[in-house]
Copies of this chain bind each other. A is one copy, B any other.
């Protein structure tokens, strides 16, 4: 799905965002009807010269509106139509779409609700059919549609003014300012709120598109569109869920490899409904998989609306940053202390300055530009005596040193020594040395607001709180251009053809081990034995201590029935154990399928599992063994297949990573090789779609080798991959 696919998307979507002609179906003499509101909005934009497109009102029941001719149907317009906006009752929509299709209209926005979202699956089906039978591309239904500040297309039908009880009109929805942020939203309400908050934050919008029911055009299409759109610098996505995780992931990667994509995923608490056979399958919720996918796509994830606005603002005004070294400059000591605490919390470092820079700053002190009582360090507190000029001079010296990646400046306005030139002074230094800087200024006094507004106007993102500023700075460092790649679907057949002949249900240990071996994952030296008489001979091939286990396709939790015996050192013990297990199997009334004898392996215990996510398909989980994974929930998830560099990122994510690095004399794990093992393991579930769950628990790392000591798996050939 390279740029060939893209080109087609852009071809059709440009008619949606930048049409030459628009038909509005559903205008009415009632100015409060949605069709009328939209028509009047478009006409206003035309009058203002913002909208270049021709606008044609359509309604078979009226002949004219405000002196303009109203067309009875689309065909009557007699011009080629790029976009039809449909705001009529749900029952009529299908007919309009068919008519539009017949008239070769390129795109449609179906504002009308009343389809699948209200249970009208029938209308939904009909609409899908109508769309598939034409070449029209459709946004909606059940959507606010598009607000495009460049072309002037605006179907957001909510009024900018709304009357109060006392009759006075008050601002309901602020006019957005033109900028470089593209918003893709799965919620109408949240897109209005974002619109308001972005405006309040001084952030300009390029386009907002509400995806509605996504009957045709979807989040993925818009991600691709804005990825290649030169007017878009950052893409903000409000996401509730997607239908096809791999398609979504590919679109994310494509977009994110071009520019920052900031995603807020709501619905984190939804419970995965999948039947869990393995630990990992039960542990990994839908949100963990989304998070893994976001990381694979280099997406910047935010957790709430405020953070969304703050982070988008940073990316809109500044560029992504590689390092995390922060310099803090203020005239309020308390803020300096707070910023240290918070910066560290969000992964930023506040290294002190080298002697050379300190000397230059001490020189400023001699000239009275740094107050005598101020200590030259990072964060640097100029104290209430700090003047605007001292801010500028200090910032100049530090910025010119190229030592820091990020700058947080907090020129608290209250002290008399600070005047309102401070932001302009800082801005000119930031521009000269091309360093990313944000301003934090608290409060709502007139001075506070002036400082922030001036800052935003100069392209320096301003924030009202240190935490918010620091989160935004941290986000600038967290965007990583992903490697362009494509997540295909798993091949429907098993690469290992012999798996086809296995029955659905739990995998036998033999088969599981055989599968692992095919992918170069070793099990400890293991023998399957049916009869006591074999034991003596087998003992010659193994070095104790040994493990003796029941081999059974019926008994899945062997430990629970006393079916695992550890630390067997002699033939005597082995024989005794074998008899015991045989008796236990007999007692359970289960057929004897033999036992396995294994060399015991000691080392660092890991858990490596794969499961089949309802949205993303095969996913892989790595964690430290047992307790760490389950109680601390210390594990990392990615969508399969997993590249070695991604596997390394997974390992780096583990809180308990120290345990792999030779903690307290425990063996050091070869992390490169572990990454390779994860990659190989990810291929198993990806290349053999019958395997729905597979888990090595524990996977024991010893020296530079990995041993799958216990494996569980679940086959299901019928279920679609």
Enumerate chain B residues within 8 angstroms of A447, measured Cβ to Cβ: 162, 170-172
The stretch from A146-154, A328-336, A544-552, A706-714 touching chain B is A328-336
Give Cα A663 to B447, complex, Å: 58
Enumerate chain B residues within 8 angstroms of A341, measured Cβ to Cβ: 266-269, 303
Enumerate chain B residues within 8 angstroms of A224, measured Cβ to Cβ: none
Contact call A444/B174, Cβ cutoff below 8 A: yes
The stretch from A214-222, A353-361, A462-470, A491-499 touching chain B is A462-470
In the complex, A501 has a CB within 8 A of chain B: no
Nearest B residue to A118, CB-CB: B373
The verdict on A335 contacting B269 (CB below 8 Å), with A196-B442, A200-B444, A658-B631 known, is no
* Residue interface mask A445-468, B partner, CB < 8 A = 1: 111101000000000000011111
Nearest B residue to A331, CB-CB: B189
Q: Report the minimum CB–CB distance from A334 to chain B (whole Å).
A: 3
* Residue interface mask A162-189, B partner, CB < 8 A = 1: 1011000011111000000000001111
Enumerate chain B residues within 8 angstroms of A448, measured Cβ to Cβ: 196
Q: Of B303, B372, B467, B663, which one neighbours A631 at CB under 8 angstroms? A: B663
Give Cα A344 to B372, complex, Å: 49
Give Cα A189 to B382, complex, Å: 12
Give Cα A411 to B266, complex, Å: 19
Contact call A626/B442, Cβ cutoff below 8 A: no
In the complex, A306 has a CB within 8 A of chain B: yes
In the complex, A486 has a CB within 8 A of chain B: no
* Residue interface mask A243-272, B partner, CB < 8 A = 1: 000000000000000000000001111000
Q: Of B331, B338, B664, which one neighbours A626 at CB under 8 angstroms? A: B664
In the complex, A100 has a CB within 8 A of chain B: no
Enumerate chain B residues within 8 angstroms of A570, measured Cβ to Cβ: none
Q: Report the minimum CB–CB distance from A172 to chain B (whole Å).
A: 5
In the complex, A98 has a CB within 8 A of chain B: no
In the complex, A412 has a CB within 8 A of chain B: yes
The stretch from A413-421, A510-518, A587-595, A609-617 touching chain B is A413-421
Contact call A338/B266, Cβ cutoff below 8 A: yes
Q: Of B333, B421, B465, B626, which one neighbours A165 at CB under 8 angstroms? A: B421
In the complex, A636 has a CB within 8 A of chain B: no
Enumerate chain B residues within 8 angstroms of A450, measured Cβ to Cβ: 164, 170
Enumerate chain B residues within 8 angstroms of A626, measured Cβ to Cβ: 664
In the complex, A443 has a CB within 8 A of chain B: yes
Contact call A442/B197, Cβ cutoff below 8 A: yes
Contact call B238/A334, Cβ cutoff below 8 A: yes
In the complex, A542 has a CB within 8 A of chain B: no
* Residue interface mask A416-446, B partner, CB < 8 A = 1: 1001110000000000000000000011111
Residue among A192, A419, A421, A466 with the most chain B CB within 10 A? Answer: A192
5 shortest A-B CB distances, which residue pairs? A196-B443, A187-B334, A189-B332, A200-B444, A190-B334
Residue pairs across A and B with Cβ atoms less than 8 A apart, 27 shown, are A158-B414, A162-B413, A162-B447, A171-B445, A172-B413, A174-B444, A174-B445, A187-B333, A189-B331, A189-B333, A189-B334, A192-B414, A196-B445, A196-B448, A197-B442, A240-B337, A266-B338, A267-B341, A269-B340, A269-B341, A303-B342, A304-B467, A306-B465, A627-B664, A631-B658, A631-B659, A631-B663
A residues whose Cβ falls under 8 Å from a Cβ of B: 32, 117-118, 158-159, 162, 164-165, 170-174, 186-190, 192-193, 196-197, 199-200, 238, 240, 266-269, 303-307, 331-335, 337-338, 340-342, 344, 372-373, 384, 412-416, 419-421, 442-448, 450, 464-468, 626-627, 631-632, 655-656, 658-659, 663-664
